[in-house]
Amino acid sequence: MGLLKKGEYRVVFPSHVKYLPRIEQLTTKISEELHFNEDDRDDLSIAITELFNNALHHGNRDDESKKIVVTFKVLSKGLQISVQDEGGGFRRENVRDPLAEENIMKTSGRGLFLVEQLVDKISYHTSPTGSEVIIFKKFSQLN
């Protein structure tokens, strides 16, 4: 299983934008190893890029002394990926609706909405030590 020999792979990144390509490449490599189809690989790459970006900018506030932890875990029906930051946390219900009339023309604020459309399941966990977003993508169906 390559990187996922034990069914799980965890990587810790400093909070810096230069690691975005690495996490995207890692996600692509793992999703290829698990035989996700191209569309599902793309969905996972976009979702992870958005979540890493949110952890970097909104969670850790671009503080390079803070870490972003990404954990890939193979489950029986798909891949679970956790993205954790060391920020102050957030409540999903307080994130503005990008489809609301007053937000339609804004140039940001669509990341979580986009991720929710690309994955099969998403959950949010907040603690005093940071936030964790866990996504799940079912294995691609063979055609």
Name the residue with tokens 């900018």: 57
More confident residue, 46 or 91: 46
CATH domain 6-138 topology: Heat Shock Protein 90 (3.30.565)
What is the residue extent of each domain of the chain? 6-138
Give tens-digit pLDDT for 75-98: 999 999 999 999 987 665 665 665
Give tens-digit pLDDT for 15-32: 999 999 999 999 999 999
pTM of the entire structure?
Answer: 0.87
pLDDT at residue 82 in the model: 97
132 burial via Cβ count (<10 Å: 0-12, 13-18, 19+): buried
Tell me the mean pLDDT in the region 59-70: 96
Distance CA 123, CA 133 (A): 6
